[in-house]
Chain A
């Protein structure tokens, strides 16, 4: 055991070095999938939420979280997938949204739980910030993306879907 005492907050901040394998610019903390970090009798429990039910990256992220906490000196680490809370795209942090745009993805608007077809179809362009865009396809290169086109800069772009 590491002689330095590490708090749950410090574990959480070290988890911001674990990146989403499908969007390497975004950490799992930015993505809002870390629900809780608990330390009890030198045993760390991290609760994670899956984004989409069929997200293929969740197992990989679970393993990476485990390795990250082990590397801090803890020996007893549990990373559990918590299904009592449903993840939605409102959980992406403001900093996360800035990173998404820099990465070239449109961002999901905050919807408070219910989102309409209008919100699905309308995305701000991540390249030129124009609102004059159209949706080309509801499905993109990963489950969490849709495909759009910007009439202002005439570029195609993908967007992180509102969910």
Chain B
């Protein structure tokens, strides 16, 4: 695999899996506006994964986006553990949404400068769309962090659960140096530093504490194809209709 190819694959898998997780709130959102918000973000993210898989198809000889999304095995997926976790209660969904989307937003911001043109062009477009995702996440973090005692306590405990997993977003791959040298991407280390700088004040403004990570290996493995027990059932469900009639024209 080439460095850019590996980068795009993990981004696409993250977007697809997060999109699918978001879509699990469709029809179940706590209020109508939130149902619509999570469903809209699901649509955005699955659209982003489609655009990324299309780059893999057009430039790196991969199969069609639908095949990549629905016919690969668990081991072929490179999504991070944070994205795989079940939606849980709405507090966990919001905490993950906050941590994940800020990382994605900053990643695309860096990629606008990418030397790999097709990715730079797509990054410019997706970055504008993700602005709405991070604003949504921020507004709930503040509202619940500064809400009642119960909402504060629940937001803090959700953050405590989701935060250690977020290290896995930035899990290094063997291509980091090459990506930086070739100016394709500034690298996971720099992204993580920017992300920490961005989320710390937002967490503080919400009256919440930044959790302490005790186990540095938590959330790691996804980028190498090692996943939690939550991914396979999700893949089964996601591809159920596709597998019923594989060569059908939609």
Q: Do most interface residues of chain A lie in helix, strand or loop, or is the interface mixed?
A: loop
Q: Assess whether A1 is interfacial by the CB under 8 Å rule.
A: no
Q: Are A138's CB and B129's CB within 8 A? A: no
Most buried by A among B40, B51, B122, B135: B40
Q: Are B47's CB and A53's CB within 8 A? A: yes
Q: Assess whether B146 is interfacial by the CB under 8 Å rule.
A: no
Mask of B111-128 contacts with A, CB within 8 angstroms, 1/0: 000000010011011101
Q: Are B43's CB and A143's CB within 8 A? A: yes
Q: Are B33's CB and A52's CB within 8 A? A: no
The verdict on A83 contacting B122 (CB below 8 Å), with A52-B47, A143-B44, A163-B128 known, is yes
A115 to B44, CA, bound (A): 19
Q: Assess whether A39 is interfacial by the CB under 8 Å rule.
A: no
Q: Are B33's CB and A53's CB within 8 A? A: no
Q: Assess whether A147 is interfacial by the CB under 8 Å rule.
A: yes
A137 to B46, CA, bound (A): 21
Q: Assess whether A84 is interfacial by the CB under 8 Å rule.
A: yes
Most buried by B among A83, A84, A117: A83
Q: Assess whether A5 is interfacial by the CB under 8 Å rule.
A: no
Residue of B with least CB distance to A85: B121
Set of chain A residues within 8 Å of B40, measured between Cβ atoms:
139-140, 143
Q: Assess whether B60 is interfacial by the CB under 8 Å rule.
A: no
Q: Are B128's CB and A83's CB within 8 A? A: no
Q: Assess whether B36 is interfacial by the CB under 8 Å rule.
A: yes
Q: Quick one: which of A83, A117, A140 contacts B135, CB cutoff 8 A?
A: A117
Q: Are A138's CB and B135's CB within 8 A? A: yes
Q: Assess whether B69 is interfacial by the CB under 8 Å rule.
A: no
Chain B interface, number of residues (Cβ within 8 angstroms): 27
Set of chain B residues within 8 Å of A136, measured between Cβ atoms:
33
Set of chain A residues within 8 Å of B122, measured between Cβ atoms:
53, 83
Q: Are B36's CB and A141's CB within 8 A? A: yes
Set of chain B residues within 8 Å of A123, measured between Cβ atoms:
none
Q: Assess whether B100 is interfacial by the CB under 8 Å rule.
A: no
Q: Assess whether A60 is interfacial by the CB under 8 Å rule.
A: no
Instruction: Give, as a whole number of angstroms, the nearest-CB distance from A162 to chain B.
Output: 9
A138 to B139, CA, bound (A): 10
Q: Assess whether B56 is interfacial by the CB under 8 Å rule.
A: no
Binding site for B on A (CB under 8 A): 52-56, 83-84, 86-88, 115, 117, 120, 136-141, 143, 147, 161, 163
A-B interface, 3 closest residue pairs, ranked by CB to CB distance from nearest? A54-B47, A139-B40, A137-B33
Q: Please list 30 pairs of residues, one from A and one from B, whose beta carbons are closer than 8 Å in the complex, sorted by A's number.
A: A52-B47, A53-B47, A53-B51, A53-B122, A53-B126, A53-B129, A54-B43, A54-B48, A56-B43, A83-B118, A83-B122, A83-B125, A86-B125, A87-B125, A88-B128, A115-B131, A120-B135, A136-B33, A137-B36, A138-B37, A138-B132, A138-B135, A138-B136, A139-B36, A139-B40, A139-B41, A140-B36, A141-B36, A143-B44, A147-B33
